[in-house]
Amino acid sequence: MEQRIEVGGHGGQGVVLMSYLLAHLGMRHGLNVTWFPSYGAEMRGGTASCFVRFSHDIIDSPLIDQATHIISLNNPSLVKLMPKLVPKGIVIYNTSLVTTAPHDICDEPITYPVPATEMAQQLGQVKTANMVILGAYLGLTDLATDEEVEQALRERISAKHEKLIPINLKAVSLGRQYFIENLKVIQ
């Protein structure tokens, strides 16, 4: 089955990196993948969203008319993306910054609320909230192991930023564990 994932947040939240890692991990598992980033001219603080599509079949376009999954790091992105969600689609969102209930926008979404910013603050690095959400998504889908995420991070992050890999991996593990312990029962 094809997964059409739309990831949204504001510039500086790591939307592009997180969605790139999703695409990279999908390719590593032999899936056909498209990755299409879109962000405002401001980058930091402006809107950022990315489309990621996974399929065993050929993908005809990187764009997404209807998303099977929405990952939202902030409230404006959730409000913007929810109308594109298929009926009974999946929403993973950062409750630290999302104040609108997904059920208020769309009928019958399957929701996975994650306090990603608070969890990242517990790690001492608020900028890893994107990796906490990525970990929750990986807990839901079993797309990749922590070791595969580490390899993907090492391939993506430049040598001068290599020191950030361990904290990002902790955040992914924390998000995956949070999903397993608190959200898996929703399935």
Q: Is the pTM of this model over 0.85?
A: yes
Report the domain count for the chain. Answer: 1
Q: What confidence score (pLDDT) does residue 44 get? A: 60
State the residue range of the domain holding 155.
Answer: 3-186
Average pLDDT for residues 18-31, to the nearest whole number?
Answer: 94
Q: What confidence score (pLDDT) does residue 47 get? A: 76
Distances (CA, A) of 159 to 24, 67, 90, 154, 162: 19, 34, 35, 8, 5
With H, G, I as helix, E, B as strand and everything else as coil, classify residue 92.
strand
Average pLDDT for residues 165-178, to the nearest whole number?
Answer: 96
- Give 147 or 41, the one with higher predicted confidence: 147
> pLDDT at residue 48 above 90?
no
* CATH code of residue 103: 3.40.920.10
115-125: pLDDT as tens digits = 999 999 999 99
